Structure 1
């Protein structure tokens, strides 16, 4: 596994410190609330992630060889899950981004059992979009 970004380490420590699903769910919502607001001009059709039941917008930019993504969703739970995905991938190179193991990440956070197939597919679609963006611009 590639090195973990600082935000990912913080997320892991926080989620592994709580024992039950109710606490994790509350923390998940808090992560979603802390997600920076995506500019209205970025909430356009071209930035919508296909394959999500909820609306998810994603933008990314390459900065000194490392990717920084920003995202937003109309669904609270998805916002939290996307925030955790961003914590895991922001700051990675394109090659490191290709190697991210999404099921393993959410398993480490203790959230994999609560991911419905549609949420799992949606998060996978977000990660695939990140990978596609990184391939287009690297």
Structure 2
């Protein structure tokens, strides 16, 4: 499945005035995630700090990141799909320079998330940033 560009996601959100429509769109975005193989659902790949079950596998090819992730919650899968579109195909230094949480504020998503989901979102972002720092430390 192809990753949508973040610019396309932002444009789509701007077209949706009603928050129920935005939540439905988030669920649809979650359906675009590449399936996470069952064998990747390990404690090592589990993102700590999320109330929902969330797993992340980061792949590096030619210095650029790609991600396979999943959650047991539909809304969370949509949030993950947005983060995948934000961070995919970037280098480790680029990832560390991206403020993904600002994108969520711009979309007015953070104000519509429960505190637990907001904390989980921050944990997921920090995990991606951690993976980028590890790549930089290894070079």
Shift of 1:110: 3.0
Shift of 1:23: 1.0
Partner of 2:78: 80
CA RMSD of aligned residues (A): 1.5
SS across alignment from 2:56: strand
Partner of 2:65: 67
Distance 1:33 1:88 in 2: 17
TM-score (norm 2): 0.90
Say if 2:78 is the partner of 1:44: no
Greater RCO structure (CA 8 Å; 6+ sep): 1
SS across alignment from 2:34: coil
Unaligned runs of 5+ in 2: none
Counterparts of 1:11-30 in structure 2 under 5 Å? Answer: 11-30=9-28
TM-score (norm 1): 0.90
Partner of 2:33: 35
Distance 2:91 2:105 in 1: 23
Unaligned runs of 5+ in 1: none
Aligned length: 134
Compared CA separation, residues 102 and 117, structure 1 to 2 (3 A): farther
Distance 1:135 1:101 in 2: 15
